[in-house]
Amino acid sequence: MTELRRERVERLDRLDQPVEPGRVRLPRFDPEAFGQWSENIARYMGTAKFIVYMTIVIGAWFAWNTLAPANMRFDPYTFTFLTLILSLQASYAAPLILLAQNRQTDRDRLGMEEDRRRAAMQKADTEYLTREIAALRIALGEVATRDFIRSELARVAEELDEAAGRRQKLERKEWEEEHS
């Protein structure tokens, strides 16, 4: 015997120490793969194709068990076996559909969280751009517009014309004083 095994046997013989419970190893499965499988089943069960096939099977079941010779019927009139099969199908379908709905709810929740995050980012971007536009408007309020510059140039041109006219009068007056 190996050393570990001997120690374990000795511990089992002692009544003053608790016995380690034996572990039951359950099969492991991938929850994501099982979830996808359940979604595929739930998706198929929600199609017209499934309803048509189910109707054909039940119709054939009824026809066989009512029209076939008595010795070939496997489920007599009350159709107890058919009821059992449909109950089993329903008992497995309901949890699979609920699992698929829960997965869809989780996806929807993640989608809504992502939408909220994007909306918050867009709101922040919009507020930033609004502040930038307001700053540009304030800055443009201090900048001369085209009409303002034209009016100022026109005023300066009038002043220059007036100044030129005064200077001509002054020069003419001086010329007249020199020649008189």
Q: How confident is the model at residue 9 (pLDDT cuts 50, 70, 90)?
A: low
The per-residue pLDDT for 19 is 64
- Residue 99: closest CA among 45, 35, 155: 35
pLDDT value at position 4?
Answer: 62
Give per-residue pLDDT as tens, 29-43: 888 888 899 899 989
CA-angle at 50, arms to 47 and 51, nearest 5°: 90
- Kindly report, residue by residue over 61-74, the tens digit of the pLDDT: 999 999 999 999 99
85 and 73 in contact (C-beta within 8 Å)?
Answer: no
How confident is the model at residue 5, as a pLDDT?
64
Question: How is residue 9 written in tokens?
Answer: 């046997």
Residue 111: the pLDDT is: 95
pLDDT level of residue 125 (50, 70, 90 thresholds): very high
Q: What angle do CA 88, 43, 49 make, to 5 degrees?
A: 80
CB 97 within 8 A of CB 45: yes
**Global pTM?**
0.53
With cut-offs at 50, 70 and 90, classify the pLDDT of residue 132: very high
Residues in the chain: 180
Most confident option among 10-14, 109-113, 136-140: 109-113
Q: Residue for token digits 């140039």?
A: 153
Alpha-carbon Rg for the chain, nearest whole angstrom, is 48
